[in-house]
């Protein structure tokens, strides 16, 4: 099957899951929430959206497996283990669940197809702004159908950056705050949205110049890494290794400032969150 047809299916799946989430958003008071862990919420909206994604994507790519955030969909490899071989859909049915439950943007549906740990294509559908970020081989990166690409910023002091705060484990909090503090004086600003897929999408289309975060899961970044790659940017772990899908950490930039941002986050190289 051509990549464009697969991306069409991924887009249709993301929009269908988005419709499910919008239905729940009409009456957030009815959401039943539970804690999967410290500061990790899940609701029936997350579960229903994931089921919708699987329903739409199952069989689209013959032999492709699934990895998703909810209901134990697939198995995430242990830290340091080799990436599973073959094609795999990696899904986050609702990235930014806490934002969603409070009606605070952004939150998104994230659909990525990977080959081992290498991004193939990705769709991130940000519901509040109704923005569909899409990337696939042969078609590049688009935002709501229009071509897009990373920024041309080439000097760290001119950058607008994005990050995520420690929210599940806090053993690296002091080192993280030191890195964050250093970037306050070396950039035009740092933003924290609470939805890594959206942060990566914004890097891909040039709204942000760079992003870094530890404590990431594959479903947080799978689609976004594809967007950055096809938008002309670069994504690595904190040590500079490519394809950080299973690394637990990621740095994504327009490519021009990548080395400078890697230097800034060097104290966090050993942190997986």
Q: Which of 89, 125, 272 is nearest to 197 (CA)?
A: 125
Phi and psi at residue 47, in whole multiples of 5°? Answer: -65, -45
> Can you give the pLDDT of all 273 residues of the chain as single tens digits?
699 999 999 999 999 999 999 998 998 877 776 665 544 556 788 899 999 999 999 999 999 999 998 878 878 887 667 788 899 999 999 999 999 999 999 999 999 999 999 999 999 999 999 999 999 999 999 999 999 999 999 999 999 999 998 766 667 788 899 999 999 999 999 999 999 999 999 999 999 999 999 999 999 999 999 999 999 999 999 999 999 999 999 999 999 999 999 999 999 998 876
Question: In Å, how far are 175, 214, 262 from 267, measured between CA atoms?
Answer: 7, 12, 10
Q: Which of 206, 114, 223 is nearest to 162 (CA)?
A: 206
Does pTM top 0.85 for this prediction?
yes
- In DSSP terms, 89 is beta-bridged to 66, 113
pLDDT of 144-178, one tens digit each? 999 999 999 999 999 999 999 876 666 778 889 99
Check the CA dihedral 17-19-21-23 and report its sign: negative
Helix (H) or strand (E) holding 12: helix 3-25
Side-chain half-sphere exposure of 271, counting CA atoms within 13 A: 25
pLDDT of 186-227, one tens digit each? 999 999 999 999 999 999 999 999 999 999 999 999 999 999
**Per the structure block, which two tokens stand in for 42?**
């899940």
Contact of 199 with 193, CB cutoff 8 Å: yes
Q: Which domains does the chain have, with CATH numbers?
A: 3-147 (3.30.540.10), 156-268 (3.40.190.80)
Give the whole-number percent of the chain exceeding pLDDT 90.
78
Phi and psi at residue 210, in whole multiples of 5°? Answer: -160, 160
């Amino acid at each position: 099957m051509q990549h464009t047809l697969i991306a069409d299916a991924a887009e249709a799946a993301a929009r269908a899951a988005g419709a499910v989430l919008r239905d729940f958003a009409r009456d957030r008071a009815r959401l039943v929430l539970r804690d999967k862990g410290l500061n990790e919420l899940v609701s029936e909206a997350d579960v229903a959206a994931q089921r919708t994604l699987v329903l739409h994507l199952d069989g689209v790519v013959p032999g492709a497996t699934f990895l998703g955030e909810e209901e134990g969909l697939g198995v995430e490899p242990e830290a340091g283990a080799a990436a599973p071989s073959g094609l795999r859909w990696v899904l986050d049915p609702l990235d930014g669940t806490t934002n969603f439950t409070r009606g605070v943007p952004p939150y998104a549906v994230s659909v990525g197809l990977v080959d081992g740990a290498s991004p193939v294509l990705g769709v991130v559908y940000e519901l509040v702004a109704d923005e569909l970020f899409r990337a696939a081989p042969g078609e590049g990166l688009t935002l709501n159908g229009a071509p897009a690409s990373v920024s041309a910023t080439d000097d760290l002091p001119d950058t607008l950056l994005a990050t995520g705060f420690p929210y599940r484990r806090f053993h690296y909090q002091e080192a993280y705050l030191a890195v964050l503090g250093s970037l306050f004086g070396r950039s035009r600003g740092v933003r924290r949205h609470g939805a890594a897929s959206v942060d990566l999408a914004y890097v891909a289309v040039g709204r942000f110049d760079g992003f870094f975060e530890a404590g990431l899961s594959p479903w947080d970044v799978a689609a976004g890494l594809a967007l950055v790659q096809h938008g002309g940017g670069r994504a690595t772990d904190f040590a500079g290794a490519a394809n950080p899908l299973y690394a637990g950490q990621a740095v994504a930039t327009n490519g021009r400032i990548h080395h400078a941002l890697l230097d800034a986050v060097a104290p966090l190289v050993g942190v997986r969150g």
